[in-house]
Structure 1
Amino acid sequence: MLNYQCLETKSLCGTSHIELDGIHIYIDPGSDDSLEHPPVSEQPDLILLSHSDLSHLGGLVYAYHKYDWKNAHIYATLPVINMGRMTMLDAIKSNLVGDITKEQVNQVFDSIIALRYSQPTSLLGKCNGLTITAYNAGHSLGGTLWSLLKESESILYAVDWNHSKDKHLNGAALYSNGHILEALNRPNTLITDANNALVSTPSRKKRDEALIESVMSSLYKGGTVLLPVDSSSRVLELCCFLDSHWSSTQPPLPFPIFFLSPTSTKTIDYARSMIEWMGDNIVRDFGIDESLLEFRNIHTITDYSQLSSIAPGPKVILSTSLTLECGFSQQILLNFMSQNSNDLILFTQKSRCQSSLAKQFIRYWEQACKKLMDIPPPVGLYAEHNIKVKRMEALAGEELKQYQEQQLQKISRTAEDSALELRNKTILDEDLSSSSDEEDDEMGLTPEAPGAALGSALFLSGKSFDLNLRDQSVQNLQTKYKMFPYVEKRRRIDEFGEVVKQEDFVIINEPMNNFEAEASPSDSTAIDPTGKRKWSEINDGIHGQNEDELQEEIPSKIVAEDLMIRISCQVQFIDIEGLHDGRSLKTIIPQVNPRKLVLIHATDEEREDMKRTCSALSAFTKDVYLPKYGEDINVSIDVNAFSLKLSDDLIRNLIWTKVGNCEVSHMLAKIEKPSESEIQDSEANEEDAKRNDAEKEADHLPVLNPVTLRSDLARAPRAAPLLVGNTKLAELRKALLDQGISAELKGEGVLLCGGVVAVRKLSGGKISIEGGLSNQFFEVRKMVYKMLAIV
């Protein structure tokens, strides 16, 4: 049973919920800048992440802690994990999110299991029998198409994919060199988006030229160019493109480029450490060009105050967030974009700006230019807008007092829990020999202290005290009882002497590999007894601690206010989003040829247009679904699949025929249920406890035995030979051309052979050969039979 449901979230891409034979799978729990995720009806067993932007993982940390998703296994590629971590940290700082902390982000992303492309992974536990595989999706570094296989069900989840190459990425594995990848061809269910189904995007060369022309025109007029970007996905493409143009221009351009984000430096460092995940051109040039991905012309800035020290003048600023609703891009909009009418706000992503200030600006540009050209020029924007601005304000007065009291209570509870945990651990480690009582007598720790508890016992009783021992219950004690809580660990002794713990003698300061050798001695506290460290514990990445982390945290609160701003600048949109357009979508999806198609993450007009295109194809499936948010649809395939066990006698007499990567055989057998005695003998087997649940369950399956009795043979049906396999028209055309027979593809699953015979692919995998009786007809039919296995 396969059910699909798209959950409505605060992002354009709703969370996908797939229920496959009782396994609950959540894919891309996204959100907007608020980082919130709505509650779900079922706890996830498996979570998959496709891309590293907020639309695909923005709600993960919130739901992980709020709805207790800790029991679910989370899978993603390494770049999605690293870049997703940067995305979340940037969103927390940019939007001043107080409900999610940096430690919570690191906890979630440290728990994600990393996969490589084309690496089938068989899952265990409740997900037993399910195999997941990640494939390159383009669009973003580490972007993923997910293939899910379980028995007769095969699902391909492909959203936000890009079939064409970028500056730093290869195209999607779905469509490469004019062909669909064999492993992704003909899935039972294809879940994909219909974004840009109504749009025909100009060539990349034209878009690059238009972007450079608009940027340089504004700079030479003395304006500042603002490019609102995401924090870690498509911003890398813009950095590669702009840095390459600045480096190739002679004489050098005098205009600086700034990448302004709280995590800009770490984002580029992460990208430089994952060259192998990038495009063929970058991988090939790596080692030849030492300056690869160093971005010599781009200055990374993590604090908005650093812009004040830069000399005024024209400049290019890549700034987060993408929506202009928060972060540094909002501050630049407030302070820069009302001074010079030659300033330019250049948008490169449109689908991620729904219901935001950026979307309003893009809509204004579309209405003003009226699409008279493929890439219309910038238009002037002179207007007043009311926007909400968040800022941090230090606590004072009664609010500061309440905050300090809450912190003291928190510290007290933490200390009590730590002492209780230590006490319990000590009790478990106590030696059960009689020498423990003698140690108590020697130390003078008698339990008969009148009217007071001793040491840690007082601490565990719920009282708390500071360094001056100002607690009233402690002041009433005698002087000799005024001490800090301390629990002495008792020595454990066996027949060989005192028990020695190996971890107490591990040299933790000695680096275990080359990467740790580069870390400073001060990082030794992040090393565990095994010598290994988590990626997030090495001062959160490649660089050391940020300066703002070294400063004492000032108690503050978030204050939001509405401001009326005046904007006087130029606005333009050029698509550098790295997504498929309508032409590529309507060309590639029919070639994938799924048995069932589910269209999500697009407007109703785009999905209806894509459905009409698919309905017009005679050889394409008619099962096309357009689910609404929250609608649960059944997309199970109509097959009768049963689990049976073959007897040894039957297996010895089978004749196998190879079909592609598989082998098939025709058999004549009868089904028999295992007897009660056989089941009991199996359960009574001494080695039964060593077998897993799958092997035990197989003992109860019906058994296929060969037909030996004449009465059974007389009742058995007479089956005609079966043709097994999948005939591909492209391969058939090549085979016919090799035999000297002309063949031409006419589209919609029709191959015209010799001008008189037509081979047509019908729905359900059937093939029709049409034509008059002639030598060519039989030659074509013979060639089709050769491509199939006769069983």
Structure 2
Amino acid sequence: MFTFTALSGAQSTSRASQSILELDGGVKVLVDVGWDERFDTRQLAELEKHVSTLSFILLTHATISHLGAYAHCCKHIPLFSQIPVYATPPVIAFGRTALQDLYSSAPAAATFLPASASPEDQTSIDDTTRSNILREAPTFDEINAYFGVITPLKYSQPHQPTASYFSAPLEGLTLTAYNAGHTLGGTIWHIQHGMESIVYAVDWHQGRENVIAGAAWFDGIGGSEVSEALRKPTALVCSSVNGDKVAIAGGRKARDDALLGHIRSCLSKGGSVLIPIDSSARVLELAWLLEKTWQEGTNDETLRNARVYMASKSAHATLRHARSLLEWMDDSIVREFEGNDDDNAVKSHKRSGSKQVNGASKTSRPFEFRHVRVVESQVRLDKVLKGEGPRVIIASDLSAEWGYSRVALEHIAQKPDNLIILTDRVNSADGLENASASTLWKWHQERPHGVALDKSLAGDQIEQVHTGGQELLFRDARRASLDEAELAKYQQYMATQRQMKDSLLTSDGRQLADAEDALDVDDESSSESEDEEDEQQGRALNVSAALTHGNKSKVALSDEDLGVSILLRKKDVFDYDVRNKRGRNAVFPYTHSRRRGDEFGDFIKPEDFLREEEKEAQEAMLDDKNTSVLGQKRKWSEDKNRHLKSNKKQKAMDYQPASGGAVDGDGLADASDSESDTEEVNLAPQGPSKIVYEEKRISFHARLAFVDFAGLHDQRSLQMLIPLINPKKLILIGGTQSQTVTLANDCKELLGMKVIGHENESKAEIYSPRIGEVIDASVDTNAWIVKLTRELAKRLQWQNVKNMSIVTVTGQLRAEGVQVEEENTAKKAKLTDETKESVVEDVVMNEYQPVLDALPLNVAASTRTATQPIHVGDLRLADLRRLMRDGGHSAVFRGEGTLLIDDMVAVRKLASGRITVEGSPISSTQRPDAESFRHVKRKIYEGLAVVAAG
């Protein structure tokens, strides 16, 4: 059984991705925890309902649309942080930096308190109908902790994941990650569970890029066939983004030339270029291209007089991670930094830390840019924007709703010589029609004020759209302190949250409020019944419902929610009826208080071990000097000053150029960076806060250009790859309605598959679900449960093939108890023969399970068929070679798909999966030909299951 539910990102303008895959046995897999620029918690409402039954979580890309809500769910949704998560190391590293940039740049990402303690009461995302009080956002330490528990996986290595403690057993589920392109570490997931083979591929890119390698659909470089592991899955989940778009002719080179053509055209006029892009994933591809262009363009006066800046609050961390993840990049990057092409240049410039390539100085360390300067502080960015001369600014985020792209856009938009380059098609999500990037994309498509034409270096024509001074609406979001009424509401909400978490005790004695206490399991927890597990999951949903349906003044829980804990949490309550109760409500409550300490034991307070004379000296010192000593708490002012000084020192160290690093020539010293951090800390409100919006309109005079730098599949690649993959079921998600319909119709013609939604078609092979729609995409939807008799079960002879057991069954199908039910039905009413027959048939189909029994000997002899036996399983030639070598034979590969054994037996595997064995007439002195031939076939049969007929 395999059912698929798209929680977000299906036939929608929002790029947020969330999907639930439910497999046989109650195994539930959540793929991606995406968000969009609205940061609306109602997008996570359906996800919260499934949390208590999830087995594990998979993350595909390190972008906000794929993991933007991960830290929020870990902090605010019970049980979520206890679910195992799997991703590749680049997704873990860059996902961490992306969320750190998000929460430090976008106040709205912290989300809002419910207007009436119930998110369901909010019927609109308008600020007038919801509270503007912000929740407590995840801190940097919490984000590091959330990503630190993710299990890293490598490409092409099968892994058997671990399920959460409240999940159903996985029973041999195998998980394998493959390269998806698009982002560094992007993943195509292959899930094998029983007869289900599911390939989950969203936002992939087949083509190779400067930094990011292409998707691993084919075997080897230049392969013509899809990899065997990804071929013919029972279900392919594929995104329909760009399903109706054709990529630019010429591929990567034409794309890069178009981008550089726009940049040169603007810089030659003395203007500045702004490129909004994400802060961690695609920014590496763009920054690498500009760094390489500036290195090779030392003789180009246009490039020599312009500076390039990479503006993001996590830019240094992004580059630091990139330096340690070279093995995940394209092979050309690895060869370049290993110096395989220019070993002599590396040796001659070993002391200087750089080498000469085509006459230009180049750093010997990966991603240590000499021309792309990093900007992390707000004050530093302001100085860059106020400076003179042409410049190129790569700023986060792509949406231009938060981050430094939002700040730079307001400044660059005012001059007609400046240029804003859009790198992705922006579809307006519901409620974000007036967003900056959506408005700019709309202007670029409509072109009401004409187009300026220019030529690139390659001679291709480029277009830049005039904006003509149109007004652009800006909404600045900033934090502000709470007043007394808002502070009381915030404290009331937090008190309710704490009581909810404290009262939510699992039946084995674990407390959900503390993830560390999840290891303290009672010895009797293993003997709980399935009913109690259901009760536990139901209790989690009940508490979640209590969170959403409680009214404003409700601080404490109701007696029903407290259960037996009412004896501890309410005064003057000394009795509780435990009759007919199960689980924790059947025994007296006990709260386990965990002793806190470090790795050496309990915490030690030095002041507890002072001698009397030392205590007197300490008190005297405190009276004379208002300073702190060992073991005493520091005052807030002292701790704050100490924090600012250390932060200033750390920032100064971060901005110190390394050997061969970029040295700014614009007069911006490192001291200004540290001062900027101090100013930002002083301006930020401490404690609970709210969000305040300020709207303003500016006249937009800068020009617009578009270069598709998203690195995603297009219509041609989808039409080429999907028929080669040849899935039995195709599920399309991740695109708009028009893109999904267009791709579904194309696949219908290419594959000859049927599209769901037509009443006269009984089988649906192509699915295009909507958000929240549950579809059944099992390998065989016409399946029934059959009970085997003891006599038949004793006759079964099981054969093992890898992790599966196979057996042939021949029996007769019957239903037990039909005659008894028929007599009972006859006693109830006086019916005609026709009516009586229809009633009995209906009762049997609804009430009784079919039983498969062994055939009598006389019937079995007369029903034997002449069908030839078949072989079930898949034997790899590499495994066969290992087996033959272990048996003392020589086995080598000769040609494509041919294994030569003992120089006389050739084993070939055809594209259909069939294995042929051919013997050579030349005799061997070591072993006769016939004996080798039989030995090879015996080894092949050992890896397959022979299913006999009859």
Distance 1:352 1:110, change over 3 A: farther
Q: Is structure 2 residue 209 aligned with structure 1 residue 166? A: yes
Amino acid at match of 2:470: E
How do residues 33-48 of structure 1 correspond to structure 2 at under 5 angstroms?
Answer: 33-36=37-40, 37-40=43-46, 41-43=49-51, 44-45=53-54, 46-48=56-58
Distance 1:631 1:666, change over 3 A: closer
* Structure 2 equivalent of residue 29 of structure 1: 33
SS of alignment partner, residue 274 of structure 2: strand
* Structure 1 equivalent of residue 436 of structure 2: 357
Q: Would you say the 8 A contact 1:4–1:16 is kept in 2?
A: yes
* Structure 2 equivalent of residue 714 of structure 1: 861
Counterpart-to-counterpart distance in 2, 1:30 and 1:396: 30
Taking structure 1 as the reference length, the TM-score comes to 0.65
How do residues 413-562 of structure 1 correspond to structure 2 at under 5 angstroms?
Answer: 503=600, 548=677, 554-555=685-686, 557-562=690-695
Q: 1:224 aligns with which of 258, 268, 272?
A: 272
Amino acid at match of 1:39: A
* Structure 2 equivalent of residue 629 of structure 1: 771
Distance 1:542 1:790, change over 3 A: farther
Q: Would you say the 8 A contact 2:452–2:463 is kept in 1?
A: no
Distance 1:292 1:704, change over 3 A: farther
Counterpart-to-counterpart distance in 2, 1:170 and 1:594: 24
Counterpart-to-counterpart distance in 1, 2:426 and 2:650: 31
Please state how far the C-alpha of 1:257 moved relative to its aligned partner: 0.5
Distance 1:642 1:402, change over 3 A: closer
Q: Would you say the 8 A contact 2:730–2:766 is kept in 1?
A: yes
* Structure 1 equivalent of residue 331 of structure 2: 280
Q: Would you say the 8 A contact 1:157–1:190 is kept in 2?
A: yes
Q: 2:95 aligns with which of 80, 84, 87?
A: 84
SS of alignment partner, residue 558 of structure 1: strand
- Percent identity reads 29
Q: 1:594 aligns with which of 706, 724, 727?
A: 727
Q: Would you say the 8 A contact 1:266–1:543 is kept in 2?
A: no
Please state how far the C-alpha of 1:345 moved relative to its aligned partner: 0.2
Q: 1:347 aligns with which of 422, 433, 441?
A: 422
Q: Deviations over 1:351-396 (max 9, x none)?
A: 5775432122123222327999997511111233353433546649
* Structure 1 equivalent of residue 225 of structure 2: 179
Please state how far the C-alpha of 1:24 moved relative to its aligned partner: 2.3
Q: Deviations over 1:567-591 (max 9, x none)?
A: 1111011001101110111010011
Please state how far the C-alpha of 1:145 moved relative to its aligned partner: 0.7
How do residues 659-674 of structure 1 correspond to structure 2 at under 5 angstroms?
Answer: none
SS of alignment partner, residue 25 of structure 1: strand
Please state how far the C-alpha of 1:65 moved relative to its aligned partner: 2.8
Counterpart-to-counterpart distance in 2, 1:51 and 1:601: 14
Distance 1:636 1:263, change over 3 A: same
* Structure 2 equivalent of residue 529 of structure 1: none
RMSD, aligned CA: 4.9
Counterpart-to-counterpart distance in 2, 1:169 and 1:559: 40
* Structure 2 equivalent of residue 53 of structure 1: 63
Q: Is structure 2 residue 325 aligned with structure 1 residue 290? A: no
* Structure 2 equivalent of residue 5 of structure 1: 5
Q: Is structure 2 residue 464 aligned with structure 1 residue 382? A: no
Q: Is structure 2 residue 150 aligned with structure 1 residue 112? A: yes
Which stretch has the larger CA shift, 549-558 or 15-24?
549-558
* Structure 1 equivalent of residue 305 of structure 2: 254
Q: Would you say the 8 A contact 2:477–2:693 is kept in 1?
A: yes
Q: 2:410 aligns with which of 308, 314, 334?
A: 334
Q: Would you say the 8 A contact 1:52–1:143 is kept in 2?
A: yes
Distance 1:19 1:379, change over 3 A: same
Q: Specify which structure has the bigger relative contact order, considering alpha-carbon pairs within 8 angstroms and separated by 6 or more residues.
A: 2
SS of alignment partner, residue 369 of structure 2: coil
Counterpart-to-counterpart distance in 2, 1:112 and 1:7: 22
Gaps of 5+ in 2: 111-134, 340-362, 500-512, 518-594, 604-648, 656-672, 756-764, 814-850, 875-894, 898-909, 915-943
Q: Deviations over 1:303-341 (max 9, x none)?
A: 121034443111000011211222211111222320x21
Counterpart-to-counterpart distance in 1, 2:452 and 2:262: 17
SS of alignment partner, residue 591 of structure 1: helix
How do residues 579-590 of structure 1 correspond to structure 2 at under 5 angstroms?
Answer: 579-590=712-723
Counterpart-to-counterpart distance in 2, 1:409 and 1:365: 49
Q: Would you say the 8 A contact 1:260–1:318 is kept in 2?
A: yes
Distance 1:157 1:565, change over 3 A: same
Counterpart-to-counterpart distance in 2, 1:583 and 1:82: 32
* Structure 2 equivalent of residue 306 of structure 1: 380
Amino acid at match of 2:380: Q
Counterpart-to-counterpart distance in 1, 2:230 and 2:650: 37
SS of alignment partner, residue 393 of structure 2: strand
Counterpart-to-counterpart distance in 2, 1:621 and 1:181: 25
Counterpart-to-counterpart distance in 2, 1:5 and 1:375: 45
Q: Is structure 2 residue 286 aligned with structure 1 residue 238? A: yes
Amino acid at match of 1:251: N
Distance 1:25 1:504, change over 3 A: closer
Amino acid at match of 1:637: V
Please state how far the C-alpha of 1:247 moved relative to its aligned partner: 0.5
Q: Would you say the 8 A contact 2:480–2:692 is kept in 1?
A: no
Runs of 4+ in 1 over 6 A off after TM superposition: 369-375, 396-406, 539-546, 641-650, 661-666, 668-672, 702-705, 787-791
Q: Deviations over 1:763-784 (max 9, x none)?
A: xx99xxxxxxxxxxxxxxxxxx
Q: 2:200 aligns with which of 149, 157, 165?
A: 157
Q: Would you say the 8 A contact 1:139–1:579 is kept in 2?
A: yes
Q: Would you say the 8 A contact 1:15–1:29 is kept in 2?
A: yes
Taking structure 2 as the reference length, the TM-score comes to 0.55
Counterpart-to-counterpart distance in 2, 1:540 and 1:586: 52
Counterpart-to-counterpart distance in 2, 1:162 and 1:409: 48
* Structure 1 equivalent of residue 253 of structure 2: 205
Counterpart-to-counterpart distance in 2, 1:300 and 1:53: 20
How do residues 604-683 of structure 1 correspond to structure 2 at under 5 angstroms?
Answer: 604-617=737-750, 623-638=765-780
Please state how far the C-alpha of 1:669 moved relative to its aligned partner: 6.7
Which stretch has the larger CA shift, 319-328 or 63-72?
63-72
Q: Would you say the 8 A contact 1:55–1:352 is kept in 2?
A: no
Please state how far the C-alpha of 1:111 moved relative to its aligned partner: 2.4
Q: Is structure 2 residue 269 aligned with structure 1 residue 193? A: no
Please state how far the C-alpha of 1:259 moved relative to its aligned partner: 0.6
* Structure 2 equivalent of residue 19 of structure 1: 22
Q: Would you say the 8 A contact 1:386–1:562 is kept in 2?
A: no
Q: Would you say the 8 A contact 1:390–1:558 is kept in 2?
A: no
The aligned length equals: 597
Gaps of 5+ in 1: 414-420, 426-488, 490-500, 507-538, 673-701, 728-733, 737-758, 767-786
Please state how far the C-alpha of 1:285 moved relative to its aligned partner: 2.7
Counterpart-to-counterpart distance in 2, 1:196 and 1:161: 11
Please state how far the C-alpha of 1:126 moved relative to its aligned partner: 2.1
Q: Would you say the 8 A contact 1:49–1:80 is kept in 2?
A: yes
Please state how far the C-alpha of 1:55 moved relative to its aligned partner: 0.6
* Structure 2 equivalent of residue 131 of structure 1: 174
